[in-house]
Structure 1
Amino acid sequence: MVTDTPWDFYLFVGISLLGYKLDEFLKITPNLFMKEYILWLKMNNPDAIQEVETVYVDQVPFL
């Protein structure tokens, strides 16, 4: 049976990399999971995520 969500990957990341227990993993929200995974990536592999500078309309010079 093929599902759209790769739960085995999420379980691997949550349990082995982030140190969750199974009952903790089942209680966290997807938003918290992603925030913690991004922080883990920034700490362990800084080149994995590129920071994007936000430029607003009033900061763009006129030609």
Structure 2
Amino acid sequence: MANQKIVSCPNCGKDVVWNKASPWRPFCCKRCKLIDLGDWAGETHRIKGETLMPENFFDPNDSE
């Protein structure tokens, strides 16, 4: 298997083989995956874009 794709774990940088034998890919382990999830939940990671104000949210009761 010389053509295995190797990626770096986004959390710790450890090499991870990209295949079905690596269930946490692209992370090296469950711990790194949960750390990343916690960063998203705590808003350490964000997707760049405009800040939405509550008054601009979609109102499903608005009949326009």
TM-score by length of 2: 0.30
Which of 1 and 2 has greater Rg?
2
When you count strand as a share of all residues, which structure comes out higher? Answer: 2
When you count helix as a share of all residues, which structure comes out higher? Answer: 1
TM-score by length of 1: 0.30
